[in-house]
Amino acid sequence: MKIFKNKKNLIKHISQIKNLAFVPTMGTLHRGHISLIKEAKKKSKNILVSIFVNPKQFNSKKDYKKYPRNINKDIKILEKENIKFLYLPDNKDIYSFKPVTPIYLHKFSKELCGKFRPGHFKGVINVVNRFLEIIKPKYLFLGEKDLQQLILIQMHIIKNKIKTIVVPCKTLRSNTGIALSSRNLRLNRKDLKIATKISYFLHNNKKKLIKKLIKNQKKEIIKKIYLLGAKKIDYIEAVSFKKFKIVKRIKNKLNIFIAYYLNDVRLIDNL
């Protein structure tokens, strides 16, 4: 595996590769990331993984510093998966140039996480836009766990007529139903049990919950989730997957989107 720490060397090495598959990560790799890599292998032998904890998408320095990191373990995992290229940039390497492509933020960026984390999606689109200009991949693999993020990145790519193809990858879950996330490492046993109960409640009552959300009976659902052990709930909404907006009647396929806290760890999910 070839490791690059600056974009000039990376560009020089990959510029002639036409079918490059790109898997962006913030490290602390888990089975969810591996599932993205396995999907990438179906499209190309040339896979590039990036590891970069992007400071511009965090709403506090404290959260940024607490984000779990384990680069040595990550490298071993990628070597085991026979990844050809790893990009390990620092802040200067990513943010020392002015991108040609402007950032496009669809109005959906103001809903859900965008409402509670101002500037978050601008930070996400900013860094992805820079990666795309540096790497120019044919394929970009993104997990559906961060579905709102995936949709906004896709809208940015479509709006700017970027040639990269977004490949959505299904959410991978633990045996208890919790969506895999690097942040889960910050949960203790008690928190993991609570997350399991909340996940179980959402999955087993999805149709009923969607009806209640649409009928403005959200308080009843929120009360139940608090009783299960959530410390704080940012939102729980029924969202149209086709129209990318919160809905008030059952018309299209709907997903439940939720963001809640266990202690100071923020968890998101959609189903």
Annotated catalytic residue 156: no
User: Over pLDDT 70: what percentage of the chain?
Assistant: 96
**Residue 90 pLDDT:** 98
Q: State how far the alpha carbon of 141 is from the alpha carbons of 164, 206, 214, 254, in Å.
A: 10, 27, 32, 23
Q: What is the rounded average pLDDT for all residues in the chain?
A: 95
Q: Look up the CATH number of domain 2-169.
A: 3.40.50.620
Question: CA 185, CA 29: separation in Å to the nearest integer?
Answer: 11
**Residue 243 pLDDT:** 66
Label residue 231 exposed, middle or buried (CB < 10 Å: 0-12, 13-18, 19+): middle
In the DSSP assignment, the letter for residue 231 is S
User: What pairs with residue 86 in β-bridges?
Assistant: 3, 49
- The arithmetic mean of pLDDT across residues 133-156, rounded, is 97
Q: Please give the CATH topology (third level) of the domain spanning 182-270.
A: Pantoate--beta-alanine Ligase; Chain: A,domain 2 (3.30.1300)
**Residue 216 pLDDT:** 85
CB under 8 A, 24+ apart: contacts of 195-198: 195/262, 195/267, 197/228, 197/229, 198/225, 198/228, 198/229, 198/230, 198/260
Query: What is the value of pTM for the model shown?
Result: 0.95
Write down the domain spans for the chain. 2-169, 182-270
pLDDT tens for residues 209-235? 999 998 889 999 999 999 999 999 999
Looking at 13, 30, 33, 120, which residue is catalytic?
33
**Residue 80 banded pLDDT, cuts 50, 70, 90:** very high
**Residue 240 banded pLDDT, cuts 50, 70, 90:** confident
